[in-house]
Amino acid sequence: MTETPIPDFASGGGLLPAIAQDAENGQVLMLAWMNEEAWRETLSSGRAVYFSRSRNRLWRKGEESGHVQTVVEIRVDCDADTILLRVHQQGAACHEGYATCFFRKVEDAGGRTQIVEPLLKDPAEIYDR
């Protein structure tokens, strides 16, 4: 086995993009951000942990919704500045209640979109708001 470098967090100013992909069907579920602390906790816990830029703190996926991501495999790209998590997703990946955050399809050059994925759960039923 060849040793691979850990991600280069310095190249991204401390934050790197982390793509979550369904380990079974390859569907891209979401894009989030990781700092080194989130990376280390993800490695040690086996569950996806991200850095929330809006909350300015670690975000343990599913901590409020129960929709956790169990990590099956982790890959790092050729420049060591993007992380791919292949996960088993429990419930909706998207905070809007969809299986994927990429539930809108751009329909035309004007940028109009259409929802093309089914809603799994009403967000009002997921979060205490």
What would the pLDDT profile of 78-128 be if each residue is shown by its tens digit?
999 999 999 999 999 999 999 999 999 999 999 999 999 999 998 888 876
What gap in Å lies between CA 40 and CA 87, rounded to an integer?
16
HSE-CB of 123 using CA atoms within 13 angstroms: 9
* Ordered alpha helix ranges (H), the chain: 36-45, 123-126
Which residues touch 79 (CB under 8 Å, ≥6 apart)?
Answer: 8, 11
What is the pTM (predicted TM-score) of this model? 0.90
What would the pLDDT profile of 13-66 be if each residue is shown by its tens digit?
999 999 999 999 999 999 999 999 999 999 999 999 999 999 999 999 999 899
HSE-CB of 97 using CA atoms within 13 angstroms: 11
In the prediction, which pLDDT does 2 show? 59
75 - beta bridge partners? 84
Calculated CA dihedral for residues 95, 99, 100, 102, nearest 10 degrees: -90
In the prediction, which pLDDT does 5 show? 58
